[in-house]
Amino acid sequence: MLEKSHKLADQFKHRSFPYYDQLTSIYAKDRAIGKNAQIATDIVEEIDATM
């Protein structure tokens, strides 16, 4: 299957991406909403506390 991508993104295709897991936790679209939801700031503070 052919992949379509931005031409300038090719340089990053086979490189490691530091902090990928932390960034996906912050910017994921499957976060909860409502009373118990966390905002990005809460998630960042939680990640910082574990480091």
Residue 14 has which token pair? Answer: 């086979």
Q: Is residue 32 part of a domain?
A: yes
Q: Is residue 7 part of a domain?
A: no
Q: Is residue 24 part of a domain?
A: yes
Q: For residue 23, which of 6, 47, 51 has the smallest C-alpha distance?
A: 47
Q: Is residue 1 part of a domain?
A: no
Residue 1 pLDDT: 46
Domain containing 26: what range? 17-50
Q: How many domains does the chain have?
A: 1
pLDDT band at residue 3 using 50, 70 and 90 as cut-offs: low
The amino acid occupying position 46 is E
The CA distance from 49 to 51, in Å, is 6
Q: Is residue 12 part of a domain?
A: no
Q: For residue 24, which of 10, 3, 40, 2 has the smallest C-alpha distance?
A: 40
For the chain, the average pLDDT equals 77
Q: Is residue 46 part of a domain?
A: yes
Q: Is residue 21 pLDDT above 80, yes or no?
A: yes
